[in-house]
Amino acid sequence: MLFLSSCAGKPPTDAPLHLKQSSFSALPGWRHADHKGLKTAFEKSCARILKQNPDRPFGPDDIGGTHGDWQPICNALPGAQDMNVFFERWFTPYKAYAGTKDDGLFTGYYEASLRGSYKRHGPYQTPLHTRPDDLVMVDLGAFRESLRGQRIAGRVQSGKLKPYEDRSNISAGRWPHNDKILAWVDDPVDAFFLHIQGSGRIEMDDGSTLRAGYAGQNGHVYYAIGRELVKRKAMDKDKISMQSIRAWLEAHPHEAQDIMNKNASYVFFRALNDTGPEGGEGVTLTPLRSLAVDRSRIPYGVPLWLDIDEPVPQAAPLRRLMIAQDTGGAIRGAVRGDVYWGHGQHAENMAGQMKAQGQYWLLLPRTAPAP
């Protein structure tokens, strides 16, 4: 859950990523792994990988070699029958460390559910804005390799990039593009959580369904409102969850907007097709196979074996192979992940409560130089 990360108090996010060569026999649960849906998820990343220049570096700090090390793997993937055998043939596992610590925080996210209308009327009073034409989003990694995974955004004025309006100004209509609206929804708290999750299904009042997905962000730093509620002594730190935060906001409607505005980050949306939400890699996310990672440390398309403590109370540990296909404003750190659970009440319940410690191993091509 993205807004819990700032409360974690775990290893500092600037701890460097260290990788130590391991073996498949050392991966907890590998021999009995259920790989259902994994091949489909990996094929989506491979479709992107196969289009790249083979000589282009695959990740930061030479992690994963070049795209040329991955392309034979992707070409062989469609014919794979036994996924254990496939990965053991092509990959070497490397355990990830944040400095000297091998564990980190793992949270969850999901595709939200909302009710909306294409026209403003009745209860439909909260807008979901589309990306404004003057929003400039800059991938700093395109200019300097050392800045890979870092982004800023703003508006060009007199030839200079200036900060964009924050959440409080946009929510109050104090900005130039208040008319660029994808849909109106009936609950400002639902809209806020859609900003956190990045995508959702909106049941429209005309009987249709609109899938909304991330189209841009105003460039302001993400702030966890769970931290603000703890700071104000409105909630105990150990009781913070998506469900408890939602309940507090709904029970305090006169204070809710002020609390939500503490997160100056604001997301803009676009209509998606029916295939589902799209991650930062530019591929459709697969439930329980797509993982959001810190893009400055972990390259998109890398398979990661996860060993996570029970994601929610009384659940089994989460041990499975996932693909790095997304990122998020609160996903920072060498050992840090956000599990995509999909859509529906079960996904919302699991993602909303998930705040667990875990570890992961990167699977890198055998042909790539050891990192």
DSSP-derived letter for residue 219 is S
pLDDT in tens, 259-297: 999 999 999 999 988 777 889 999 999 999 999 999 989
Q: What's the pLDDT at 246?
A: 92
pLDDT (tens digit per residue) in 79-123: 999 999 999 999 999 999 999 999 999 999 999 899 999 999 999
For CATH 2.40.240.50, list the domain ranges present in the chain.
Answer: 114-271
Ranges assigned E (strand) in the chain: 17-21, 91-98, 104-117, 126-129, 136-139, 151-157, 160-162, 181-185, 199-204, 209-217, 267-271, 290-292, 303-308, 318-326, 337-343, 355-365
Is residue 315 helix, strand or coil? coil
Q: 22-78 pLDDT, tens per residue?
A: 999 999 999 999 999 999 999 999 999 999 999 999 998 889 999 999 999 999 999
- Tell me which amino acid residue 96 is: A
Using CA atoms, how far apart are residues 360 and 322, in angstroms rounded to an integer? 10
Q: How many degrees, rounded to 5, is the angle at CA 146 between CA 70 and CA 11?
A: 90
Nearest Cα to Cα of residue 304 among 326, 330, 276: 326
pTM over 0.85: no
Between CA 277 and CA 255 the distance in angstroms is 31
Please identify, in words, the CATH class of the domain defined by 114-271.
Answer: mainly beta
CA Rg value for the chain: 21
**Strand-by-strand arrangement of the 151-157 sheet:** 136-139, 151-157, 160-162
Residues whose CB is less than 8 angstroms from the CB of residue 100 and which lie 6 or more positions away in sequence, other chains included: 18
Cβ-Cβ contacts under 8 Å for 85 (sequence gap 6 or more): none
CB 346 within 8 A of CB 371: no
pLDDT exceeds cutoff 60 at 2: no
What is the CB neighbour count within 10 angstroms for residue 103? Answer: 19
Strand pairing of 209-217 and 355-365? unpaired
Portions of the chain given CATH number 2.40.40.10: 8-107+279-365
User: What is the amino acid identity at position 44?
Assistant: K
- The predicted model gives 229-247 an average pLDDT of 90
For domain 8-107+279-365, give the CATH superfamily. RlpA-like domain (2.40.40.10)
Confidence category of residue 13, pLDDT binned at 50, 70, 90:
low
Does residue 266 contact residue 128 with C-beta atoms inside 8 Å? no
Q: How far apart are CA 285 and CA 337, in angstroms?
A: 15
pLDDT band at 1 (very low <50, low <70, confident <90, very high): very low
Mean predicted confidence (pLDDT) in 169-182 = 92
Residue 158 has pLDDT above 70, yes or no: yes
Q: State the Cα angle at 318 between 314 and 320, rounded to 5°.
A: 160
240: confidence class by pLDDT, cuts 50, 70, 90: confident
Residues 240, 7 contacting (CB under 8 angstroms) = yes
* Distance in angstroms between the alpha carbons of the first and the last residue of the chain: 30
Cα 333 to Cα 293: distance, rounded to the nearest angstrom: 8
Alpha-carbon span 98 to 333, nearest angstrom = 7
Type of residue found at 355: K
Query: Tokens 């609109």 map to which residue?
Result: 210
**DSSP per position, 287-309:** TTTEEE--TTTS-TT-EEEEEES
Residue 9: per-residue pLDDT: 35
Tell me the C-alpha distance between 83 and 277, whole Å: 25
Work out whether the CA dihedral 52, 55, 60, 62 comes out positive or negative. positive
**Average pLDDT rounded to a whole number, residues 330-356:** 91
Answer for the pair 152, 216: CB distance below 8 angstroms, yes or no.
no
